[in-house]
Amino acid sequence: MLFSLITNVKTIKADSINDYIISNKIQPATTQYRQGTFNIWTPYRYGVGHPEGVVVHETSEANVNAEQFVARFNAQWPTLQTYVHAFVDDTNVINIHSTDYAVWGAGPTANSRYVQVELCRVNSYDAFARSLANDANYIASKLIQYNLPDVPGQTVLSHQQTSGMWHETNHTDPVHYFDIWGYNMDQFNDLISYYYNNQKTYGNIYGESKNVIRVKNNNAIYVPLVAFSGDGQMISLRDHGLANNSAWYTDQSKDYNGVTYHRVASNEWVAETYKI
């Protein structure tokens, strides 16, 4: 065939939470940009607008959502002596300080290098999955915004990793919280990489474009194909078919007897009715 079957740029390991996010195509929340009350405008060590990556935090406090944490930090940061760029939960991503400037989240060395985002605790599997999708998409988008590579341990670090590297804090988040859900930083890095690579290649997080169709035949194990003769008549291709739940590039469409067909090879077409 002329057009190859699509495969994801990044193949992630088969863990149930990442699979749940991707198979359900959970759509991350749009980032809300609000200027908080933090009025310390500190450049990173290489200057304004030059972070070197992202530190992943977790709030370690149950039953407090992103909106509530934003309100608390804006009211209390001079006393708390801490501030981060964003809070994420299962429904919101709220960025409260420009990521062009440093904040106070993981000790002086990490602060001078990294964007910092806090993941809020949630109480259900679905909410946890949605919060991960929101967080991973935010992190992937920040790496792309600042033209940074996705390198776990270098451009994406947990707070535990920065504590171990510079010994300026003793925090171990988000490791314990992830462990509660049977999840870990390796899996989260896989999800970030999946979103990062698909955003850079396709412009969207699930690696599909307007020139891609996904097909399924609910009545058979394959999706039938047809061809068209020189005089425009349709011919069934009994020895050709597409796998169910497969995605294909298509460059042309045509109508025949009230049905739209999409071309997936030089003269092989699939009916719109099989599109999912």
Mean pLDDT of 110-126: 97
Sequence-separated (6 or more) residues with CB below 8 Å from residue 272: 259, 260, 261, 262
H-assigned helices in the chain: 16-23, 66-80, 108-111, 125-145, 159-166, 175-180, 185-202
> Does residue 224 lie in a domain region?
yes
In the chain, % of residues over pLDDT 70: 93
pLDDT at 246: 81
Angle, CA 66 vertex, CA 190 and CA 58 arms, to 5°: 45
pLDDT digits (tens, 9 = 90+) for 45-71: 999 999 999 999 999 999 999 999 999
Mean pLDDT of 126-145: 97
Mean pLDDT of 108-123: 98
With b for 16 or more beta-carbon neighbours within 10 A and e for fewer, the 108-137 pattern comes to eebbebbbbbbbbbbeeeeebbbbbbbbbb
The number of domains in the chain is 2
Which domain range does residue 246 map to? 212-274
Same domain flag for 197 and 103? yes
pLDDT digits (tens, 9 = 90+) for 206-215: 877 668 888 9
The CA distance from 176 to 183, in Å, is 9
pLDDT at 210: 65
Q: Is the pLDDT of residue 29 over 60?
A: yes
> Does residue 5 lie in a domain region?
no
> Does residue 7 lie in a domain region?
no
Last residue of a domain, which of 202, 230, 247? 202
Same domain flag for 233 and 169? no
pTM reported for the whole predicted model: 0.75
pLDDT at 209: 67
CATH no. for residue 142? 3.40.80.10
- Asked if residue 133 lies in contact with residue 192, where contact means CB atoms within 8 angstroms, the answer is no
Same domain flag for 77 and 132? yes
Hey, what are 13's tokens?
């390991």
Same domain flag for 37 and 174? yes
Mean pLDDT of 169-179: 97
Same domain flag for 71 and 182? yes
pLDDT at 239: 77
> Does residue 34 lie in a domain region?
yes
- Asked if residue 202 lies in contact with residue 8, where contact means CB atoms within 8 angstroms, the answer is no
> Does residue 10 lie in a domain region?
no
Same domain flag for 194 and 225? no
Same domain flag for 172 and 227? no
Mean pLDDT of 17-40: 95
Q: Is the pLDDT of residue 11 over 60?
A: no
Sequence-separated (6 or more) residues with CB below 8 Å from residue 243: 222, 223
Mean pLDDT of 20-27: 93
Q: Is the pLDDT of residue 192 over 90?
A: yes
pLDDT at 15: 62
DSSP helix/strand/coil, 228: strand
Report the chain's terminal Cα–Cα distance, integer Å.
21
Same domain flag for 254 and 124? no
Same domain flag for 22 and 133? yes
Same domain flag for 164 and 230? no
Q: Is the pLDDT of residue 260 over 90?
A: yes
pLDDT digits (tens, 9 = 90+) for 89-105: 999 999 999 999 999 99
Of 92-101, 164-173, 191-200, 206-215, the least confident:
206-215
Q: Is the pLDDT of residue 264 over 50?
A: yes
Which residue, among 192, 195, 197, 202, has the nearest Cα to 53 in the 3D structure? 192
The CA distance from 209 to 195, in Å, is 14
The CA distance from 98 to 136, in Å, is 18
How far, CA to CA in Å, does 207 sit from each of 25, 210, 258?
A: 11, 11, 30
Same domain flag for 131 and 99? yes
Last residue of a domain, which of 170, 202, 234? 202
The CA distance from 76 to 273, in Å, is 57
> Does residue 6 lie in a domain region?
no
pLDDT at 225: 95
Q: Is the pLDDT of residue 8 over 70?
A: no
pLDDT at 247: 78
Hey, what are 31's tokens?
């980032």
> Does residue 57 lie in a domain region?
yes
Which residue, among 160, 164, 52, has the nearest Cα to 111 in the 3D structure? 52
